[in-house]
Chains A and B, each alone.
Chain A
């Protein structure tokens, strides 16, 4: 298709507002009479709550109210399940235990909210929090995933027989048969630890109950305003039309802001209604470490069966997944891991069982990648181990096993987060790998540069890691496109936005159809009073699902425009073109009418209209994919390590990405850059250190090492486009892609750098200290051999 705007490097419509500080964030909401909330959070990770005495806090000057679980009475009940029950496979186990507004009887993770103080200022609220007296009976904590499943382990949920939250097995082909035929079996244990999502903006919520109109307005840093509206209405016994949720500009989501019904989201609107005054709560950075969901804790026991010539005959991976204190998000993360465990490889025999484990840690819900980096880390680490075992070039081994281009749509067979057997819609995987190899100059590097650098005493390694990313899952999104009398176009959609560039990419899609300037298309997202239906921005689905709905609505408006213009200009529709905000007859430029004038004609103030006519140049459309689109990419890196200090320098970083049709390369590259920075964090910097009592030891940015500009390499990005056949745009998602392969890539490059040591990386994240220990261990092992 010949495209004028889609695929162009259009600068972002939203940037002037963001860069000049005019964009509204939740903390910018100031209402008359607004109160401020602060929460008392548990010091213990696991304890019985014997007594909560708030009497002194209630008397603190400036305090308006203090609420505990008991004060909430019948309004105290857990949050809703956020995803459907698990797929009905044989022997599946799932125990749903959801977070509560305020802890009652028992504490299950450090930082769990116990009481809320609502006062005239946040300062006063925090002073009063210190006056609440709590009696705890500390209990032994559950942290280690394996010990948690032992019969003598303490229980996170006393009513369950064990800490097993869920168990699910999936099979493809016959792994045992493949194993019997294999020449080589490679076995490893792989450990993946937690990190934080650490969005620039913490969470926040303002709730305003208007008693006269009986209407509740909530500003919330949520990725899913419509589900928050529906759930809040249900919790408070209101109609969905009595609740308006606004998710204004948000400083990054990265997953945790999709976790609907955090305790604060249950408590603050309830309190505002009780007190009949607006209430604001803004999460501070320390709270973010204690109260916002996290991800990535898993332990894998993996086995790969191969033939001597480097065909992967089968893969077996049994793993444990840490869900933390509750499991409101169901099995999304471990299912993603299970369905990414084979990467982009054509593996016919697969067997995997996961066990989800309750622990005394913060709830795990998706964080950019959402189980996918784990799956890719596992398969790619196994590929490297196998290549060494076979004495084969690691890239060659990968190429021999990639799904060939003629195999699409490829029946992957493993049920993923969409709860249906995964189908890989389209792709040309080898071309993407080759592109990355070409840009980084793989052959030349390993044949010429690396030997030279090694002679100079330098430790410089190369890594190349391909990966898949399932994206753009249902159920659906919608959009309404309206041409206004000014000739400008308004677009509303139900999804929220947290920096993804929707104000520009959606505008491009509309401008492409209607022949207007991108800057003349105004986008409204994340306001439930503007659009009633939808789900949210997560799972790399905004551009694919909402983008397709916008596309369908824009096309439908285009039809209305053409029909009306054809009448007005007395010319057949086929001879009309939409250009520069007007419709004109091809070859007769003076015969034209502006979109604004047409919009007025479509909504006359007087006179009769034909029966069955809808007013205005407006259309609402919905899009629900048959199944998700799957993107593919390959990252390559040249990494230099100081072998004495373990400090690193990334010399080159290359990304070859195929996420179908590119809507805007500028935005796409921004997504990739951000993803890579999170991936580097997961590889070498970001780790949540928890002591034996379940206390987080680094709950600040002084000690939680977020990757900053000084650690970021320059990233070279190449785009390949294999359109998805599932939507007219041909788009696939890319929001999480950047983060997915990085830890596996880093590990590979590191092993390659330390060519003269027997270093094997089977864990993420690493650190200089841990790398030092691993090299010591490798040295000692070698000595003892």
Chain B
């Protein structure tokens, strides 16, 4: 379990990193926290000839308030920093609470926000949560800069719209509208494992307590984070009840997600779990939304 030979660069600035990617993009892999890439290299599943290590780029590690009142997270911010950030807890509680579900403290101390999003593992939390919260990502290259919404970013298994010379440098998570509630429900064999199934729910109530909008995004349910749009649509204009939640869960789990079978769970069991977890997530999210309504 030793990696194949590779050439190693450790740029100290984003510009330097972008210059290296402009030169070597197609042959290079970007090393962030290394919690997925390094094991894959050690197994020789990936054999990049060039490694561009971002760990010396201090300017990419930060958590700050966004102009919209949301959260801006630099690509090299460690999960552990987000986990312990009061600002993250206040502005993006769904992201904050998810941190403790990502692997275990050793991994979270190294793993980065940008690394997890760019790796685009459909079993990971951050791609799904970025999508559920309507987040977007700032991508830079020597050619320029662009913002891409999370819903347009993830293409398929481990594949995003990132060009070989591009680097994801920042994530922007907008604040939730007033009277919103959220929930993250997961089933994992052990707390630190990738979820067999997971779902993030974000719901918003209007002043009458009727659902104004909802997002349901599933983890380990397809080749990328899967947003169950029809299920979310079915909730709109409805007062939350077990019946509407059950219907939404049925639509999402039977029609919208596309889980596969592997050694840990069959697709059938995953659909069953998706159904159970959707109901639980909606129940909790609507309850939270109702509570903020009372507070407001």
Chain A interfacial positions (CB closer than 8 Å to B): 122-123, 126-127, 130, 284-286, 644-645, 647, 685, 689, 697-698, 700, 702-703, 705, 707-708, 710-711, 767-769, 772-773
Contact = CB atoms under 8 A, between A and B. Distances in A.
A311 B187 CA distance: 44
23 contacts: A123-B2, A123-B3, A126-B1, A284-B1, A286-B1, A286-B43, A644-B272, A645-B187, A645-B273, A645-B276, A645-B277, A685-B190, A705-B189, A707-B190, A708-B190, A710-B192, A767-B264, A768-B187, A768-B265, A768-B269, A769-B266, A769-B269, A772-B269
Interface string B259-291: 000011110010011001100000000000000
B144 interface: no
Contact of B190 (A123, A700, A710): A710
A127 B192 contact: no
Contacts of B189: 685, 705, 767-768
B193 interface: yes
Interface of A is mostly: loop
A127 B5 contact: yes
A703 B190 contact: no
A647 B187 contact: yes
Nearest to A684: B189
Nearest to A704: B263
B86 interface: no
Most chain B CB neighbours (cut-off 10 Å) among A645, A710, A772: A645
B98 interface: no
Contacts of B276: 644-645
B46 interface: no
Interface in B149-194: 187, 189-193
A121 to B, nearest CB: 8
Nearest to A123: B2
A648 to B, nearest CB: 10
B196 interface: yes
A165 B59 CA distance: 65
Contacts of A123: 2-3, 5
Interface of B is mostly: loop
Contacts of B266: 769, 773
A446 to B, nearest CB: 29
A705 B189 CA distance: 8
Given A768-B196, A769-B266, A772-B272, A122 B190 contact: no
Contacts of A702: 39
Contacts, number: 56
Contacts of B43: 286, 700
Contacts of A705: 189-190, 193
B4 interface: yes
A284 B5 CA distance: 18
Contacts of B187: 645, 647, 768
A13 B264 CA distance: 42
Contacts of B44: 130
A122 B264 contact: no
A689 B269 contact: no
Contacts of B39: 700, 702
A125 to B, nearest CB: 8
Nearest to B261: A769
Interface string B1-18: 111110000000000000
Contacts of A285: 1
A558 to B, nearest CB: 49
A772 B266 CA distance: 10
B257 to A, nearest CB: 16
Contacts of A645: 187, 273, 276-277
Given A286-B43, A697-B263, A768-B265, 9 more contacts: A127-B4, A130-B4, A644-B272, A645-B187, A645-B276, A685-B190, A703-B263, A710-B190, A768-B189
Nearest to A702: B39
Most chain A CB neighbours (cut-off 10 Å) among B1, B3, B44: B1
Contacts of A773: 266, 269
B25 to A, nearest CB: 25
Contacts of A126: 1-2
Nearest to A121: B2
A403 to B, nearest CB: 39
A516 to B, nearest CB: 42
A772 B192 CA distance: 22
Nearest to B4: A127
B261 to A, nearest CB: 9
